[in-house]
Amino acid sequence: MSLISYLMSQVASLVPRHSKPVTHIAPLSSSRYSPLMPIYDALKASDPDMYSALMGEMKRQTDGVELIPSENYVSPAVLEMMGSVFNNKYSEGYPGKRYYGGQEYTDIVEALAIERAKKLFKAGHANVQPHAGAPANVAAYFALLEPGDTVMGMDLSHGGHLTHGHPVTYITKIFKFVRYKMKDINTGELDYDEMREVAKKENPKLILVGYSAYPREVDYEKVKAIADEVGALTMADMAHVAGLIAGGAHKNPFDFGFDIITTTTHKTLRGPRGGMILTREEELGKKMDKSVFPGFQGGPIMQMVAAKGVAFGEALRPEFKDYAAQIVKNAKRFADIFLAKGCRLITGGTSNHLVLLDAQTSWGISGGECEHLFDRIGITLNKNMIADDPRKPMDPSGIRFGTPAITTRGMKEADMDTLADFMLRAIEKRADDSAIAKLHEEVIAFCRKFPVPGIKA
Ligand SMILES: Cc1ncc(COP(=O)(O)O)c(C=O)c1O
């Protein structure tokens, strides 16, 4: 057994029940897929197993439809910076204040990334060093709170993220999390009355908005008014919608007086994997800097910091506004089609980049079964809990799907009609293996019309 087959068999035994087990990676070294730049020759020569897996991933990304709303395709320029020699440099500290020598170029890229982030989000201060979205949130909490302090965030089953106080996270051992919910699951309106009541009773030091599976926009003005009543700070975790805000398709929480924004950089913002903390006021930003380093992290991952700067430069261009607007148009088209077909959508539609569909009620199959079925036709999305879900997280009632990645590939509203048609036919023919296999061929042929940035197919 080759090393790669052995590793894949080990991985296959770990995948959850409804995921498609990976049993085989075909050798793809001579496939039609190649990076745009001939830069993988060294990898191919040095490590054929890893090279083969990389070629397989290129094929998967090219021949499949990516509907996971937290994923995207970065530009070749971002990819190049991510794979650059900035990886080799330790640069603990901040531009102009480092613990090691040799920082003339790391200072340039980090300063550029900071300047561009501030401009993009109208921020007073930006810290671009958090390794990902979760560490950005944790670092922000520690900058603002003392152990035992209270944070108010959205009920997790209504769309909040694990880092907003899920009991499985360590952060709940240190801070107390209290909850608000949606008032009406069918419209998505948040329960601002409950928010005010809970805030008055619990006296949170921080009020948190921004979610992982919520298809609507927040009324930042109302949240800020409640926070002012109880003297709380306001933080928006805009990990999912950062690109929509940057591109002007969504409101910016800073325009309503929010104090802090945390975000990932790799979802709608279409940058490298990473996190970022922004503050409206410069003074609060200094606290964030201390909290990220030395409070929480070690050296920044400088090739990612530099690549964030490249992505922010792209997001500042006028074309990014069209991109952000198209993401929302595409998601709305998806929602309209599924609603017209009698499906139940949580919040009754979408105002952002994602749709949350109750598969159990709509089609009589669980979210997990649905995810697996769509995998078989080359459409990737994820099973997801719906608000007050009676089912378990590993096989919940819902599916979550979205449009950031397919919009990057150039798909427009009419293409949503085609994709929804593939999905609905898969549901209808789910017991017919040959119909499903034929449908998969159709999906591949459709995908090949839309190039993936960074891959020459
Ligand atoms: C709202 C929200 N915050 C934080 C995160 C965490 O980001 P990361 O996976 O980069 O740690 C996510 C990731 O999905 C998210 O949706």
Q: What CATH number should be reported for the domain holding residue 424?
A: 3.90.1150.10
Q: Does pLDDT of 1 surpass 50?
A: no
CB 367 within 8 A of CB 33: no
**Do 95 and 189 belong together in one domain?**
yes
Question: Ligand 1 pocket, 208 CB below 6 A?
Answer: no
Q: Which pLDDT belongs to residue 39?
A: 77
pLDDT confidence of 21, banded at 50, 70, 90? Answer: very low
Question: Ligand 1 pocket, 68 CB below 6 A?
Answer: no
Q: Which pLDDT belongs to residue 173?
A: 97
Nearest ligand 1 atom to the CA of 210 is 1
Check 176, 183, 273, 321 and give the catalytic one: 273
Q: Does pLDDT of 6 surpass 60?
A: no
Q: Does pLDDT of 386 surpass 80?
A: yes
Whether 54 maps to a domain, the answer reads: no
Distance 72 CA to ligand 1 centre (A): 14
| CATH code of the domain in which 163 resides | 3.40.640.10
Whether 167 maps to a domain, the answer reads: yes
3-state secondary structure of 308: helix
Of the candidates 317, 305, 320, 318, the residue with the CA atom closest to the CA atom of residue 113: 305
Distance 206 CA to ligand 1 centre (A): 18
Q: What is the pLDDT of residues 121-147, one digit of tens each?
A: 999 999 999 999 999 999 999 999 999
Residue 179 gets which letter from DSSP? E
C-alpha span between 310 and 400 (Å, rounded): 29
pLDDT confidence of 38, banded at 50, 70, 90? Answer: low
Q: Does pLDDT of 94 surpass 80?
A: yes
Q: Which pLDDT belongs to residue 283?
A: 95
Q: Does pLDDT of 267 surpass 80?
A: yes
Question: What are the phi and psi torsion angles at 300 (to 5°)?
Answer: -65, 155
pLDDT confidence of 5, banded at 50, 70, 90? Answer: very low
Question: Ligand 1 pocket, 161 CB below 6 A?
Answer: yes
Q: Does pLDDT of 262 surpass 90?
A: yes
Q: Which pLDDT belongs to residue 16?
A: 40
Check 90, 202, 217, 395 and give the catalytic one: 90
User: Which comes out higher in pLDDT, residue 16 or 352?
Assistant: 352
Of 37-46, 255-264, 309-318, the one with minimum mean pLDDT is 37-46
* Boundary of a domain, candidates 315, 347, 380: 315
Please choose from 137, 161, 382 the residue to mutate so as to test ligand 1's pocket, defined by most ligand atoms within 8 A of CB: 161
Distance 398 CA to ligand 1 centre (A): 19
C-alpha span between 352 and 102 (Å, rounded): 43
C-alpha span between 111 and 91 (Å, rounded): 13
* Boundary of a domain, candidates 292, 315, 338: 315
Contacts of 66 (CB under 8 A, 6+ apart): 73, 380, 405, 406
Q: Which pLDDT belongs to residue 457?
A: 76
Residue 237 falls in the annotated catalytic set: yes
Residue nearest to atom 7 of ligand 1 (CA): 133
Rounded to whole angstroms, what are the CA distances from 322 to 26, 407, 408? 38, 10, 11
Residue 18 gets which letter from DSSP? T
Whether 67 maps to a domain, the answer reads: no
Of the candidates 339, 338, 364, the residue with the CA atom closest to the CA atom of residue 421: 338
How many domains does the chain divide into?
Answer: 2
**Do 288 and 381 belong together in one domain?**
no
**Do 256 and 345 belong together in one domain?**
no
Q: Which pLDDT belongs to residue 430?
A: 97
Distance 131 CA to ligand 1 centre (A): 11
Q: Does pLDDT of 18 surpass 50?
A: no
Instruction: Express as a percent the part of the chain with pLDDT over 70.
Output: 92
* Boundary of a domain, candidates 255, 286, 315: 315
pLDDT confidence of 440, banded at 50, 70, 90? Answer: very high
3-state helix, strand, coil in the chain (%, to 5): 50, 15, 40
**Do 169 and 263 belong together in one domain?**
yes
pLDDT confidence of 13, banded at 50, 70, 90? Answer: very low
pLDDT confidence of 3, banded at 50, 70, 90? Answer: very low
C-alpha span between 104 and 93 (Å, rounded): 13
For the question of whether the overall pTM of this predicted structure is more than 0.85, the answer is yes
3-state secondary structure of 210: coil
**Do 218 and 249 belong together in one domain?**
yes
Of the candidates 366, 352, 360, 374, the residue with the CA atom closest to the CA atom of residue 426: 374
Q: Which pLDDT belongs to residue 393?
A: 87
Residue with tokens 């919040």: 347
Structure tokens at 31: 């496939």
36, 42, 47, 51: CA torsion to nearest 10: 0
Question: Which domain, by its residues, includes 444?
Answer: 319-452
**Do 325 and 221 belong together in one domain?**
no
Q: What is the pLDDT of residues 186-215, one digit of tens each?
A: 999 999 999 999 999 999 999 999 999 999
**Do 282 and 171 belong together in one domain?**
yes
Q: Which pLDDT belongs to residue 109?
A: 98
